[in-house]
Amino acid sequence: MARNDGIDRTSVRNLAVSDKAVGNTQQHNEREKDSYRNPDIIPQRVAWNVHFKKPAASYTDLFAQMEANGTISTRGLKPDATHYCELIFDVNSAYFDNYGGYEFAKQFYEDAYKAAVQIVGGEQYILSAVMHADEINHAMTEALGREVYHYHLHVVYVPVVERQILWSKRCKDKALVGTVKETVMQVSRSKKWASKPLLDDAGKPIMQKNGKPVLKKSYSVLQDDFFNYMRNAGYTDVERGERGSTEEHLTVTQFKVRREQERLDTLTAQADQQKQSLAAIQKKSTLTKNALIHAQDVATLGKKTLLGNYSLTEEEFSQLKSQAAHGFMVDVENRQLKQQLSAAQQNSINWQTRYRNLRNEVQPYLDAMRHAPERVRYFFENLLAQKPERTADAPSKASHQKSAEL
């Protein structure tokens, strides 16, 4: 959609997950929250999500179990070391929609999960693998007049590398010193995703002028490995994800701008409602004040006698009692109205401030999208191209060998 080049691109992103963030990652992936900030998530669709590996316990408990039974080792790790990573496999929504949607997406990501097993070094290091099928693609839904969902796969795993533990000099058998004592799977994100030497056609490292090998970034290695696996699995109509691609990212940006516009409209309506409420309270307060003014006519009732007292007729006395009771009630009501008026005025000021702040914040995006959508697209392409490697990219298209089978 953002590119309009007719190509479907598949990509995979590798994210580091800190110990502090892993709980939130679990709640998001496993849909354990009561509500979500992402407005694209449709709670009624959660049952459509597919687990290729369902966690039997929390991510942290699974990690502890793996360490306890020797599957992984944290020996020598720094306190702030990364214990978890997440692979996010993605293809633009149109690709799945063109091949039938949900069922085709399940098959695609089942094969992608097999690629993930190879990438991380074994299924025993995977904590969870779930395909999300509950996030709607609003742009395509509106364009096609039917619901279209954005399918993607989350794989949370423990990054490990093989490490050989050698016999130290303190070993009594000096013949063993320096030999391999044991081999462990060391938790290490940095070593797992270290850059590799770039090879030429003959399979030899390409060297720089200073004699050091040219390194191929771990991001590129990951993209190549995943792309090659999916091609070998029969998906010949998708291209390798390109760095800087914004097939999905620009669509998301456009939607966030639109969401902000909707929020502006909502705030505008609420501000107008507050103004109307304020006007109604002011009108009621004015009527009450007028009633009090008329009540002052009570002061003219009665006649002064020679002894300095006042005499009232029975009708005047009855009127005085009625006015006194009414005046007391009006006084109470007037105090309440003043409080409501003060609260409404403050509330109106708060809404107007929020509206102005939000409008000022979003206005440049709205103006840019209205007057120069293509320039906005190129801007975000360049911006995303400058992001760290791990934020990788989105997808393109050709002809599918598996389409005949499905």
Is residue 102 a part of any domain in this protein?
yes
User: What CATH number corresponds to the domain at position 165?
Assistant: 3.30.930.30
Q: Identify whether the C-beta of residue 100 lies closer than 8 Å to the C-beta of residue 127.
A: no
Among residues 354, 355, 373, the alpha carbon closest in space to that of 365 is found at 373
Distances (CA, A) of 350 to 158, 275, 339, 344: 47, 12, 17, 10
Is residue 1 a part of any domain in this protein?
no
Total domains in the chain come to 2
* End-to-end CA separation in angstroms for the chain: 25
pLDDT in tens, the chain (406 residues): 334 345 778 889 899 999 999 999 999 999 998 888 888 999 999 999 999 999 999 999 999 999 999 999 998 888 889 999 999 999 988 889 888 899 999 999 999 999 999 999 999 999 999 999 999 998 888 888 899 999 999 999 999 998 888 878 888 888 887 887 888 889 998 888 888 787 778 888 888 888 888 777 887 888 888 989 999 999 988 887 654 443 333 344 444 455 555 556 666 666 667 777 777 766 666 665 555 555 555 555 555 555 566 666 767 667 766 766 666 677 777 777 778 778 877 877 877 787 777 777 777 776 776 666 666 665 665 665 554 444 344 343 344 444 434 4
282 and 224 share one domain: no
Q: Which residue range forms the structural domain that includes residue 366?
A: 259-370
59 and 180 share one domain: yes
73 and 192 share one domain: yes
Retrieve residue 121's tokens. Answer: 């070094």
- With both helix axes pointing from N to C terminus, report the angle between 59-68 and 22-29 in degrees, rounded to the nearest 10: 120
For residue 340, the Cα-to-chain-centroid distance in whole angstroms is: 39
Rounded Cα–Cα distance for residues 371 and 53 (Å): 47
Among residues 233, 273, 256, the alpha carbon closest in space to that of 115 is found at 233
Is residue 3 a part of any domain in this protein?
no
Retrieve residue 138's tokens. Answer: 């609003």
Rounded Cα–Cα distance for residues 338 and 286 (Å): 11
361 and 277 share one domain: yes
Rounded Cα–Cα distance for residues 187 and 168 (Å): 22
Q: Identify whether the C-beta of residue 53 lies closer than 8 Å to the C-beta of residue 45.
A: no
Question: Per the confidence metrics, is the pTM higher than 0.85?
Answer: no
Q: The tokens 């080049």 sit on which residue?
A: 5
Is residue 382 a part of any domain in this protein?
no
